[in-house]
Chain A
Amino acid sequence: EDKVVQSPLSLVVHEGDTVTLNCSYEVTNFRSLLWYKQEKKAPTFLFMLTSSGIEKKSGRLSSILDKKELFSILNITATQTGDSAIYLCAVEGSQGNLIFGKGTKLSVKP
């Protein structure tokens, strides 16, 4: 059965800290892994990763995929209170759907 496991489930840091969020997966016929940020309701797209070892960056956020070890990490440097959210990891399933993990709830304190 395809599954995605995220860790930690919750995390509290102070502004300026660097955080690393983890995502491991098991999926038949891997095609892509995606990261989303969910602040209130709609998950918003951050990254899509398809190739191992290639880092994707957007400002203070970056992500990398290891297809051999079946995991991905999302790094956030110099965290701000606006980074407080649930971060969701998902893999593309065989039906073209997304299989999500439970998410990591990040709280950034001023």
Chain B
Amino acid sequence: DAGVTQSPTHLIKTRGQHVTLRCSPISGHKSVSWYQQVLGQGPQFIFQYYEKEERGRGNFPDRFSARQFPNYSSELNVNALLLGDSALYLCASSFHGDREAFFGQGTRLTVV
């Protein structure tokens, strides 16, 4: 049984570019959340989607957006990349909420 899968695993982008990160939840899970973890910090909540609707949003600028598809997979988009966006982006998959979530291996984004 596949766990939470994220792609790509690593990515290098230039300042000002756009990036799309992808997440496939565990089969049967309808909730996907995104977290940003910069070096030396704990993960910070970006978005939560449940049944294709946004259910929660963290304190991130409008350059960050996300969506969930009918098959419950999700994309996180970041526009106009800044150096400070360099981080590990984690996807969490659950039935209803993050207290029971499983995390993917993450996408390591480096902005140069």
Contact: B43 with A31, CB < 8 Å? no
Contact: B106 with A31, CB < 8 Å? no
Interface size on A, residues (CB 8 A): 25
Residue numbers in A under 8 Å from B70 (CB-CB): none
Which residues of B40-57 are within 8 A (CB) of A?
A: 40-45, 48, 55-57
A25 adjacent to chain B (CB < 8 Å): no
Q: How many angstroms from the CA of A42 to the CA of B44 in the assembled complex?
A: 14
Contact: A42 with B103, CB < 8 Å? yes
Residue numbers in A under 8 Å from B104 (CB-CB): 42
Contact: B42 with A31, CB < 8 Å? no
Residue numbers in A under 8 Å from B90 (CB-CB): 41-43
B88 adjacent to chain A (CB < 8 Å): yes
* B105 in complex: contacting residue of A6, A42, A95, A97, CB < 8 Å: A42
Which residue of chain A is the closest to B101 with respect to CB atoms? A98
* A102 in complex: contacting residue of B31, B33, B40, CB < 8 Å: B40
Interface residues of B (CB under 8 A from A): 4, 31, 33, 35, 40-45, 48, 55-58, 88, 90, 92, 96-99, 101-106, 108
Query: What are 6 A-B contacts defined by CB distance under 8 Å?
Result: A4-B42, A41-B105, A92-B98, A96-B48, A99-B45, A103-B41
